[in-house]
Amino acid sequence: MELSGKRIQYEKNQIVEMICQLRFPAILSIDTREPADFQELVRQDYPRYAVEQEKQGAKSHIFLSEDGLYKLCLTRSFIALSTVRYTSWADFARWLDEPLGHFISVYRPAYFERIGLRYINGFSRERLSLESCRWSELIAPQYLGPLALEETREGDVVRCSVDMETRLDERCAIKLHAGPGFIKRNIRTGETVQAVQEKQTRFILDMDLYSGGKIQLSSAADVMDAIHAHADRFFSAAITDRLHEAMEPYESN
């Protein structure tokens, strides 16, 4: 997050998961041969490997960091990096830069068809010691719908969300979901992954920003930086000063 030209991070970050995906024209050899050459190049940072078979027959090659907090996924049509420990864009980019470069050198994609960044935030009043606050004190009204109205009783609301898809400029667009809900976490035990839903209600701010078209390989980094800048602006507009302070902001280098 950037405010007034300063890079801001949060001690109590509420991002549940951050995902970067780059789609490319299908490379069938990723399905027909094990990615041994690619694994050798990324194995130092992503030593754990697994393969998942999709229903359509396609394979997902999974490379995990030693602690399992960063997951690199390679299929015949996309490469993606996700983390459940997002701290900053600069740190995330360091985890992505080398494997992306290795992917390009090994598989030589013609270009990227779509680049997307998805930020899934789950604001917890309990974890931020804000139990007495209404969501309208923490989230900007344009993201709340009827929950922004003073006469709305939160405890009576079964479901309420704001969903929007819009273009941001000539290349970038966003799909946004905002509203109270429950977080599901994928718990991996060995080769088994199980989805476990939390019992605590959070305010979900799910921002999926993307750029499509024929994106040259040399432009990928600039496109991701531009998408991230849009995400920063949306996030800053969504939270109130009270929520901002509760997450304990600090300036980073």
For residues 210-226, give the mean pLDDT.
96
Residue 81 has pLDDT above 80, yes or no: yes
Q: Is 22 helix (H, G, I), strand (E, B) or coil?
A: strand
Listed residue (77, 46, 72, 47) closest to 61, CA to CA? 72
145 φψ region: left (φ > 0), alpha (ψ -120 to 50), beta (else): left
pLDDT class of 252 with cuts at 50, 70, 90: confident
pLDDT class of 189 with cuts at 50, 70, 90: low
Sheet holding 249-251, edge to edge: 2-3, 6-10, 249-251
For residues 54-65, give the mean pLDDT.
88
Tell me, what's the pLDDT at 4?
Answer: 34
Tell me, what's the pLDDT at 60?
Answer: 94
Q: How many CB atoms lie within 10 A of CB 89?
A: 21
Report the chain's mean pLDDT, rounded to a whole number: 91
For residues 45-72, give the mean pLDDT.
91
Strand pairing report for 78-83 and 192-197: unpaired
Residue 7 has pLDDT above 80, yes or no: no
Residue 3 has pLDDT above 50, yes or no: no
At 84-107, the pLDDT tens digits run 999 999 999 999 999 999 999 999
Q: How far apart are CA 125 and CA 139, in angstroms?
A: 12
Residues with Cβ < 8 Å from 221, sequence gap 6 or more? Answer: none
Tell me, what's the pLDDT at 5?
Answer: 41
For residues 145-158, give the mean pLDDT.
91
Distance of CA 42 to the CA centre of its chain: 21
Write down the domain spans for the chain.
Answer: 1-16+122-253, 26-110
For residues 210-220, give the mean pLDDT.
96
pTM of the predicted structure, to 2 decimals: 0.90
Of 252 and 190, the structure prediction assigns the larger pLDDT to: 252
